[in-house]
């Protein structure tokens, strides 16, 4: 009989939640089982609160899986927080990523970003979000996609998100960003590695494509442009420019070895603004300006630090 998997990484299918759960699981164990959860009502509305019958919240297959729990369960976001509570009741050690909005005592460890303001004896805080970006990840990305490395330097990766409730990123702010990038290209030449996201609206995507067309580089705004070059853009960049709307995107940019510039960080509010202000105070990011800047960048590698703390606290 095969040995049980040591670790489960549980998430709700949201890309950012999946990435964080898998990043921490991968930093701790070579064997990890990924589980995408589909919650039934009313648990889908009220998770991670423990209601009667919660063992059936994720369907019969998950209920059967609970009979042979792993050594460690890692969940990210609210629905996974209910699943990790169920795992803990069956003897697994559990780590929950992101604020579950109920007291941390329901988990062995809770991992939350500094800008959430959580505190407690079992709370581990980090700057930004968990991600897999390290030297090996970057080297693999360069091996898998060597093409961008042949483009003329300096290579500027441009990570384009979209408006959110906390960051009202509009066409005017993006137009300003593109004017600044055009000025950089006139001053230094080089290439643009422009990568959009699921949240990039068509009007911003059209402006991005117009920016990319005059010079060397690449522009990816969706599957119609081929395979997503995001990892290669991070790996081959000499510098990275981000919109201010995504903690995950900025965190991954800051895990590289190159300077990171954020366009219009003043647009951010609430927790995102606190996150960006913290990075600026560390000297890891600078606002995007009219002229190219060069500064020494120390990579922000929080996943390895958090994984070491989890090993120590849980005796893994």
**DSSP helix/strand/coil, 124:** strand
| C-alpha closest to that of 199 among 166, 238, 153 | 166
Q: Are 83 and 69 in contact (CB under 8 A)?
A: no
Beta-bridge partners for 75: 10, 96
Q: What is the mean pLDDT of residues 75-95?
A: 95
- β-sheet bridge partners, residue 93: 72
**What pLDDT does 316 receive?**
87
Asked if residue 28 has pLDDT above 70, the reply is: yes
Average pLDDT over residues 105-133: 95
Gap between the Cα atoms of 76 and 89, Å rounded: 18
Do residues 297 and 258 touch, judged by C-beta distance below 8 A? yes
- Rounded to 10 deg, the angle between the 247-254 and 270-282 helix axes is 10
Phi first, then psi, for residue 170 (nearest 5°) are -105, 180
Tens of pLDDT, residues 278-301: 999 999 999 999 999 899 989 999
Q: Look at residue 1 and tell me whether its pLDDT is greater than 60.
A: no
**Cβ neighbours of residue 77 under 8 Å, at least 6 residues apart?**
11, 12, 14, 17, 97, 98
DSSP, res 132: -
Q: What was the pLDDT predicted at 2?
A: 46
Give the Cα separation of 129 and 97 in Å (integer): 9
Residue-wise pLDDT for 232-257, tens only, equals 999 999 999 999 999 999 999 999 99
Please give the model's pTM, rounded to 2 decimal places.
0.92
CB within 8 A of 288, min separation 6: which ones? 177, 180, 181, 241, 261, 262, 263, 264
Tens-place pLDDT, residues 168-226: 998 899 999 999 999 999 999 999 999 999 889 888 888 888 888 878 899 999 999 99
């Amino acid at each position: 009989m095969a040995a049980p998997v040591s670790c489960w990484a549980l998430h709700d299918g949201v890309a950012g939640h999946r990435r964080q759960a898998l990043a921490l699981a991968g930093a701790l164990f070579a064997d990890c089982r990924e589980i995408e959860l589909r919650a039934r009502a009313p648990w889908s509305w009220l998770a991670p609160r423990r209601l009667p019958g919660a063992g059936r919240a994720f369907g019969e297959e998950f209920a059967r899986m609970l009979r042979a729990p792993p050594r460690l369960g890692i969940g990210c976001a609210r629905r996974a927080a209910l699943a990790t509570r169920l795992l803990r009741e069956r003897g697994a050690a559990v780590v929950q990523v992101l604020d579950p909005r109920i007291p941390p005592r329901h988990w062995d460890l809770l991992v939350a970003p500094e800008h959430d303001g959580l505190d407690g004896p079992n709370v581990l805080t980090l700057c930004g979000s968990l991600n897999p970006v390290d030297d090996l990840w970057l080297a693999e990305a360069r091996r898998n996609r060597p093409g961008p490395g042949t483009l003329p330097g300096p290579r500027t990766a441009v990570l384009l998100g979209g408006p959110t409730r906390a960051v009202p990123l509009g066409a005017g702010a993006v137009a300003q960003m593109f004017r600044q990038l055009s000025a950089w290209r006139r001053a230094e030449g080089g290439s643009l590695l422009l990568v959009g996201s699921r949240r990039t609206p068509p009007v911003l995507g059209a402006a991005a494509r117009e920016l990319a067309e005059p010079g060397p580089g690449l522009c990816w705004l969706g599957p119609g442009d081929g395979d997503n070059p995001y990892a290669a853009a991070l790996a081959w960049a000499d510098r990275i420019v981000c919109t201010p709307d995504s903690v995950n995107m900025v965190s991954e940019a800051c895990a590289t070895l190159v300077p990171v510039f954020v366009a219009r960080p003043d647009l951010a509010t609430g927790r995102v603004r606190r996150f960006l202000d913290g990075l600026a105070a560390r000297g890891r990011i600078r606002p995007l300006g009219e002229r190219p800047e060069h500064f020494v960048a120390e990579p922000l590698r929080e996943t390895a630090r958090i994984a070491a703390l989890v090993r120590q606290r849980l005796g893994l």
